[in-house]
Amino acid sequence: MTRLAVPKTYKLFIGGAFPRSESGRSYEILGADGAFLANAAKASRKDARDAVLAARKAVAGWAGATAYNRGQVLYRVAELLEGRRAQFIEEVRASEGLSEPDAAAQVDEAIDTWVWYAGWADKYAQVAGNANPVAGPYFNISVPEPTGVVAVIAPQGTSSLLGLVAVVAPAIVTGNAVVVVADERHPLSAISLAEVLATSDVPGGVVNVLTGSAAELAPWLAAHADVNALDLTGASELDWIDLQISAAETLKRVLPPAGGELDVRSLERITAFVETKTVWHTKSMR
């Protein structure tokens, strides 16, 4: 009666493709019960570099898509997540050692949070932007725009899927591209999410997922000159002050560790990685 299962190979997600680490390294992922679950790719600094390159390539197209389009693309991701709900529950349960209902609660919350962010795509600019009544014959408007490439250290050690969603969705909904270092101990759902993204309409390179050692990868991302912003939400266990100091070299926008708790649905997380652009134009009938 027992059928021999076909296990999944978990790889990195870079530029829409699933490569192994260029270093050839992998590391064991164990379940909460200590049982072997899988070997995950252990990304190197060169994988991080490739991921930043892929993200940079993707920014213009993604940021240039209409907000309505980005909203629909992200909503489509939620649909696909829902379709794989059972798989995610199982992965979260096995990896984090949660009860079935708790794992389900996390996955449901992750899907609903994704939907929540998808809905912001064509609204955040209305909330965070302004028409400015300047004293002169000018049309003047301030609009938020994506910062560009955001490097993210996902929350570590807890709520692996929800944590990932809570940092990735707000960053990409505005048009940023991200390079995210997944939960080091529980990276499997991150790679499964990557599979969802790969089969959705999210363009390759918009989300790049690295598994491996956050401590090893973070300094390279923090120092990378072509990274515009650094989300240290999951970096509280790392030497994040040094990362912040390193990020200062190119004046990256830095979101420090969440400091206790992370509000998974937060407009502030969206606006943390946007730039306000103010455009003036003369106004005259003559």
Partner 1 sequence: MTLDLARTVVGSELSERSLRGFVLGLPGVDAVGLEQRAAGLATRSIKTSSKKRALDTIVSLIDLTTLEGADTPGKVRSLVAKAVLPDPSDPSCPQVAAVCVYGDLAHVAVEALGAHHTASGGSIAVAAVATAFPSGRASMGVKLADTADAVAAGADEIDMVIDRGAFLSGRYGEVFDEIVAVKEACRRPDGTSAHLKVILETGELATYDNVRRASWLAILAGADFIKTSTGKVSPAATLPVTLLMLEVVRDWHRLTGELVGVKPAGGIRSSKDAVRYLVTVAETAGERWLDPHLFRFGASSLLNDVLLQRQKLATGHYSGADYVTID
Partner 2 sequence: MTFLDYAPAPESRAILDLKPSYGLFIDGEFVDGHGEGFHTISPASEEAIAEIAAGDEHDVDLAVRAARRAYERVWSRMSGSDRGKYLFRIARLVQERARELAVAESLDNGKPIKESRDVDVPLVAAWFFYYAGWADKLDHAGLGPAPRALGVAGQIIPWNFPLLMLAWKIAPALAAGNTVVLKPAETTPLTALLFAEIVQQAGLPAGVVNIVTGAGETGRMLVNHPDVDKVAFTGSTAVGREIARAIAGTHKKVTLELGGKAANIVFDDAPIDQAIEGIVNGIFFNQGHVCCAGSRLLVQESVHEEVVDRLKARLSTLRLGDPLDKNTDIGAINSAEQLQRIRQLSDIGEAEGAERWSAECAIPDRGFWFAPTIFDNVSTSSRIAREEIFGPVLSVLTFRTPDEAIAKANNTPYGLSAGIWTDKGSRILAVADRLRAGVVWANTFNRFDPASPFGGYKESGYGREGGRHGLAAYLAPPAATPRRTAAGAERSIASRSASGGLENETSRADARTTISETPSADTDTRREGVTATRASRSSSKSASKKGSAK
Question: CA–CA separation, 171 vs 17, rounded Å?
Answer: 20
User: Taking the complex as a whole, how short is the minimal distance between the CB of residue 281 and partner 1, in angstroms?
Assistant: 9
Task: Between 12 and 182, name the residue whose CB sits nearer to partner 2.
Answer: 182
The binder of 265, among partner 2, partner 1, none, by C-beta within 5 to 8 A per type, is partner 2
Site for partner 2 contains 155 (CB under 8 A): yes
Is 278 a binder of partner 2 (CB under 8 A)? yes
Tokens for 33, please give them: 């019960």
Judged on CB neighbours under 10 Å (0-12, 13-18, 19+), 1 is: exposed
Which is closer to partner 1, CB of 18 or CB of 138?
A: 138
Please say which residue, 15 or 155, places its beta carbon nearer to partner 2: 155
Residues 30-89 that bind partner 2 (CB under 8 A): 64
Token pair, residue 58, equals 């993707």
Q: In this structure, which amino acid lies at residue 230?
A: L
- Token pair listed for 211: 């598994």
DSSP assignment of 202-214, as one string? SPTTSEEEE-S-H
Asked if 75 and 59 count as a contact pair (C-beta separation under 8 A), the reply is: no
76 vs 123, beta carbon nearer partner 2: 123
Q: Least distance from C-beta 49 to partner 2, angstroms?
A: 15
Closest C-alpha among 218, 159, 192 to residue 40: 192
Contact footprint for partner 1 (CB under 8 A): 136-138, 282-286
- 1-40 residues near partner 2, rule: CB under 8 A: none
